[in-house]
Amino acid sequence: MTDPLRKPVVICRDVIKDYGEGESLIHALRGLTVDIYPGELTLLVGPSGCGKSTFISILAGTLDPTGGTIEEFGLCLHQLGKNARADFRAQNVGFVFQQFNLLPALTIAENVAVPLVIRGITKATAVERACAELTAVGMGDRVTSLPNKLSGGQQQRVAIARALINKPRLLVCDEPTSAVDAKTGHTVMTLIRKLALSPDRVTIVVTHDPRVFGFADRIIAMEDGRVKEDKRVQPNIPMEDGEQP
Ligand SMILES: Nc1ncnc2c1ncn2[C@@H]1O[C@H](COP(=O)(O)OP(=O)(O)OP(=O)(O)O)[C@@H](O)[C@H]1O
Ligand SMILES: [Mg+2]
């Protein structure tokens, strides 16, 4: 889908991803072509195994495509050397996972600080900034808690704070509501939508959860490693109890 009024900042052409070889060869992406725009919430939906996680992992730079081209913010990420790519990821990409992926032995402030420490920022400064980010997601009063002392929704908000600590231009979320209850899912999506509207940020949310659909500006449906349907939608944010407004 093209939008003549705006410029896409993620441009994917004929992206192919194969896993394995010989008899175990799997064609996960079979020529995926799509443009993605900043300042809006793009959902990626489709049946299990159609390649959603594969695609966003490629966008995030944690996985290499087998073929095709991908330009992100004017850069061909997969043509960069290992170090340049790691730098790009550290500075530009935030990833929110279904199962939160928090480190159990670290406090939540330390967890959120990890991406900064990796970039060489001192721990004290990193934790201070992490506390500010946690406050922004409503977790400022729990900064010294360990992850296992929190509810699923609280852990997901911590994971979002960690994904945001570097103010990423690309925010990818893989099933961010599937491990939390409906009310928490609503809170998480309200937060993600607010972040998605930031004009310079590209936000892609993979979901199976129909309650998330109303938060979207655009829904891309994949099937069998390709785009099957791509539609722009009017956001219709559900009320917190799941009722339509
Ligand atoms: N590391 C891997 N090695 C081999 N095959 C893989 C690997 N990761 C994914 N696949 C295969 O690639 C295809 C696409 O997988 P992917 O995880 O991208 O699907 P998905 O759309 O995210 O599915 P789900 O909704 O179940 O999360 C599937 O057939 C899957 O089995
Ligand atoms: Mg997946």
With bands split at pLDDT 50, 70 and 90, how would you rate the model's confidence at 229?
A: very high
CA of 49 to the centre of ligand 1 (A): 5
With bands split at pLDDT 50, 70 and 90, how would you rate the model's confidence at 1?
A: low
- Per-residue pLDDT, 162: 94
Q: For ligand 1, say whether the CB of 7 is within 6 Å of any of its atoms.
A: no
Ligand whose nearest atom lies closest to the CA of 174: 2
With bands split at pLDDT 50, 70 and 90, how would you rate the model's confidence at 91?
A: confident
Quickly tell me which residue has 């530009």 as its tokens: 92
Per-residue pLDDT tens digits for 174-227: 999 888 888 888 988 998 999 999 999 999 999 999 999 999 999 999 999 999
The rounded distance, in Å, linking the Cα atoms of 75 and 64 is 15
The rounded distance, in Å, linking the Cα atoms of 159 and 100 is 6
Ligand 1 atom at shortest distance from the alpha carbon of 57 = 18
Per-residue pLDDT tens digits for 113-142: 999 998 899 999 999 999 999 998 889 999
The rounded distance, in Å, linking the Cα atoms of 4 and 125 is 43
With bands split at pLDDT 50, 70 and 90, how would you rate the model's confidence at 233?
A: very high
Q: For ligand 1, say whether the CB of 92 is within 6 Å of any of its atoms.
A: no
Domains of the chain are 10-104+168-232 (3.40.50.300)
- Per-residue pLDDT, 99: 83
H helix count then E strand count, the chain: 6, 9
DSSP letter assigned to residue 6: S
Judge contact between 63 and 54, C-beta under 8 A: yes
Output the 3-class SS for the chain: CCCCCCCCCEEEEEEEEEECCHHHCEEEEEEEEEEECCCCEEEEECCCCCCHHHHHHHHHCCCCCCEEEEEECCECHHHCCHHHHHHHHHHHEEEECCCCCCCCCCCHHHHHHHHHHHCCCCHHHHHHHHHHHHHHCCCHHHCCCCHHHCCHHHHHHHHHHHHHCCCCCEEEEECCCCCCCHHHHHHHHHHHHHHHCCCCCEEEEECCCHHHHHHCCEEEEEECCEEEEEEECCCCCCCCCCCCC
- pTM score of the predicted model: 0.92
Sequence-distant (6+) residues with CB within 8 A of 81 are none
**Is the pLDDT higher at 34 or at 241?**
34
Q: Which of 26, 97, 204, 207 to mutate to test the pocket of ligand 1 (most atoms within 8 A of CB)?
A: 26
- Per-residue pLDDT, 78: 86
